[in-house]
Homo-oligomer: A and B are copies of this chain.
Amino acid sequence: MVNVDDIRQAAERLKPWANVTPVMTSRTLDERCGASVFLKCENFQRVGAFKFRGAMNALLQLTDEEKSRGVVTHSSGNHAQALALAGKLLGIPACVVMPRTAPAIKRAATEGYGATIVPCEPTQADREANVARLMAERGYTLIHPFDDLRIIAGQGTAAWELIDQAGPLDVVLCPVGGGGLLSGTSIAVKGRSPQSRVIAAEPLLADDAFRSFHSGSIQPTNDAQTIADGLRTSLGPKTFAVIREKVDEIVTVTEAEIVEAMRFVWERMKIIIEPSSAVPVAPVLLGKLPLKGLRVGIIISGGNVDVEPMFQALAARWL
């Protein structure tokens, strides 16, 4: 199990590599919810998402032998790019198994960081078969996107840093997909101040963590097409064990609430966040939690969103 010292050590280990991302505030947001809200802006992290923390923390702990053989993962999202960049920075070959159906832009971004892409069918079975085959054939080490103790510790460094920057917090919110960020965050927050509350936010359309939390066993994702594309996964055994123990509450939000919160942050705070990041902003902005007078942290997970519609409109009007 990961403990708070693992996170402290991960924070030390990441110092030469990860950005110390800024904490941003909004007078309007504070007025709306009557709290002091601190956004930990991992959209400004390398590769545009907190995922770099976990991937880099994992690769830095490999043996020389493991480093020379290389690593493999399955992801079509931010973890793929994070592992690719971490591998490039450390000279470790990185291989990413990605569904053939993944957007070309994600594939290109991952290849741009120097990783090898192995396409697979968009099924759990084919993905796992490909990963197992590559591990056997090439001796790659698996770096799971979330159900890995080194990943959990790495992701927890965002909340650790937030508390260093913002001071003590009464509540910390973060989104939950596979649970890597949430488990790391809860260990960091409770390790620093056991009385602080950790609240996860999840799309109602993909409320498997909410159902798992309340039923006491891991529930499969409903395969829902939520706009929050980073949060479609279900929990893993390692992340669920932490979440059961340390998380206080999971709130769900609708798709319309996610879009409203995302638009608020874009328009009022002038930062680009991806839909998954808007998920924990929504309950704060929309008054769905009793936060009056409290100091509240939100982990903004990333800013990787396709802005093509905006620039298509600008080009059509102006170019």
Contacts and interface: CB of A to CB of B under 8 A. Distances in A.
Interface of A: 22, 24, 43-44, 48, 227, 255-256, 259, 262-263, 266-267, 269-273, 275, 303, 307, 309-315, 317-319
A258 to B, nearest CB: 8
A254 to B, nearest CB: 9
The prevalent SS among residues of A at the interface is helix
A319 B44 contact: no
Interface centre among A44, A307, A317 (most CB of B within 10 A): A307
Contact of A319 (B259, B269, B318): B259
Contact of A44 (B44, B267, B270, B314): B270
A255 B318 CA distance: 7
A262 B269 CA distance: 17
Given A255-B319, A319-B255, A43 B270 contact: yes
Contact of A309 (B263, B267, B303, B310): B310
B272 A266 contact: yes
Contacts of A269: 44
A312 B259 CA distance: 10
Nearest to A318: B227
A12 B255 CA distance: 45
B319 A256 contact: yes
28 contacts: A22-B22, A44-B269, A44-B270, A48-B270, A227-B314, A227-B317, A227-B318, A255-B318, A255-B319, A259-B311, A259-B314, A259-B315, A259-B319, A262-B314, A263-B311, A266-B307, A266-B310, A270-B271, A270-B272, A270-B273, A270-B303, A271-B272, A275-B314, A307-B310, A309-B309, A309-B310, A309-B313, A310-B313
Closest 8 CB pairs of A and B: A309-B313, A270-B303, A227-B318, A310-B310, A270-B272, A43-B270, A263-B311, A309-B310
A48 B314 CA distance: 20
A20 B269 CA distance: 14
Contacts of A317: 227
Contacts of A48: 270
